[in-house]
Structure 1
């Protein structure tokens, strides 16, 4: 949680600590996040090896890196919606489904990037 009034280096340190707390929560509670990080760990050396140059390597790795990034946002949306209430409401379902769709689109985008670079 943010600490009001912090500036400069103390604010950066606090922000980093908050970010690491979020990573820890995702790691502990989100199976999809753990799977996507494993996929990133595997894709990283392959992206370096299979990319012909820095741009291709960055595209290969970056496209996979985007997936766990969006998974953290998806998890945040789900947590906020669940915090508001557990009663069924169509807008709650929309928010969760749309956030989940962003992860799916990132997966499609990564597959497209890998396919275009490796098979073109």
Structure 2
């Protein structure tokens, strides 16, 4: 006879632990990656501006998607760099390519986020100057 309650409890514990691992990964990357620290500061500034300018729900969604995309790209880039360093401690052209492409993904996400920010905050910031 199966033990359904124990199996469900074990599954729930594993799911909860997986969130802990994910948060630990974010924290480790945040502590070690200068670019992610820059993105963290930018995120705080953007959130502050969002409250100051009283963004609409749609604008908040666009900002959240842009910020989340940049953070996700940066975290994946960090993981690829770490794994590449592990499997190829010496320089190899394919390892360099992997790192460059991952960094390029972050750049694309950051440029897209910057454009979102310009469209949403640009007119409001210009209005403050006039």
TM-score band by shorter chain is 0.7 to 0.9
Asked if the contact 1:47–1:61 (Cα under 8 Å) also holds between the matched residues in 2, the reply is: no
Give the structure with the larger helix fraction.
Answer: 2
What is the root-mean-square deviation of aligned Cα atoms in Å? 2.1
- TM-score (ref. length: structure 1): 0.83
* Residues 1:31 and 1:38: Cα distance change in structure 2 (over 3 Å): same
- Which consecutive unaligned segments of at least 5 residues does structure 2 have? 1-6, 124-130
Larger mean CA deviation between 90-99 and 54-63 belongs to 54-63
* Residues 1:107 and 1:51: Cα distance change in structure 2 (over 3 Å): farther
- 1:16 is matched with 19
Deviation at 1:52, TM superposition (A): 4.3
Runs of 4+, deviation exceeding 6 Å: none
Deviation at 1:51, TM superposition (A): 5.6
Alignment map for 1:53-64 (pairs within 5 Å):
53-64=56-67
- 1:26 is matched with 29
- Which consecutive unaligned segments of at least 5 residues does structure 1 have? none
Pair member with larger Rg: 2
- TM-score (ref. length: structure 2): 0.78
- 1:116 is matched with 119
Asked if the contact 1:51–1:57 (Cα under 8 Å) also holds between the matched residues in 2, the reply is: no
